[in-house]
Amino acid sequence: MNPRIAVLALQGAFREHMLVFAALGAECFEIRQRADLDRPFDALVLPGGESTVQGKLLRELGLFDPLRQRLRRGMPVLATCAGTILLAERIASDSVSHFATLPITVERNAYGRQLSSFHAESAFAGMTGVPMPFIRAPRITACAEGVEVLAEVDKFPVAVRYGRQLALTFHPEITADRRIHAYFLREVMR
């Protein structure tokens, strides 16, 4: 059976993830309200956007607790950018965290206001030349033991894996390169 992927669709770049996963043969649907969680799914996508807005909406819509419970129980998740901030155990200079299931520290908007968006290419889990667009990206400043760094740019981790949680600080879904999504289906979800 095709994998069923639920994509958090409150705000931000969620459609792009759905297009990539659909092209790879997965079945995708949007999570916008609590009733959407009644449908069965095998993995979750937390898209980029604005983590403060997403965190607020998740709580207001009653999605926060049920999703956190699934993440704690090991639901595979692909998080990009704001999604990575939602997963992080600690957000530098912020007393509030969100799901906090991924033992990393992130610093929001860490690349400054002027040069906040840029493009890089780097290796990812043994694949070379993976395009990596950064958009007001957070920086991963600390990782606990057991967190595997899959990609680095300028000596900082930009892709980490912790069990079935794959978290990126860049946006592969807006490129034509589907290798990271394929890796998620093949390696993280299996």
Where on the chain is the footprint of ligand GLN (CB under 6 A)? 48-51, 81-82, 85, 108-109, 135-136
Quote the DSSP letter at residue 74.
Answer: T
- Residue among 81, 98, 107, 181 flagged as catalytic: 81
In whole angstroms, how close is the CB of 118 to ligand GLN at the nearest point?
Answer: 12
- Residue among 28, 98, 173, 181 flagged as catalytic: 173
When the beta carbons of 81 and 140 are compared against ligand GLN, the nearer one is 81
When the beta carbons of 27 and 142 are compared against ligand GLN, the nearer one is 142
Cβ neighbours around 36 below 10 Å, total: 16
Reply yes or no on whether 81 is catalytic.
yes
Q: How many whole angstroms separate alpha carbon 137 and alpha carbon 50?
A: 10
When the beta carbons of 4 and 136 are compared against ligand GLN, the nearer one is 136
Q: How many whole angstroms separate alpha carbon 5 and alpha carbon 42?
A: 6
- Residue among 16, 17, 98, 171 flagged as catalytic: 171
In whole angstroms, how close is the CB of 45 to ligand GLN at the nearest point?
Answer: 13
3 state DSSP class of 83: helix
Residue 53, C-beta contacts closer than 8 angstroms, at least 6 positions apart: 10, 11
Q: Please give the positions annotated as active site.
A: 81, 171, 173
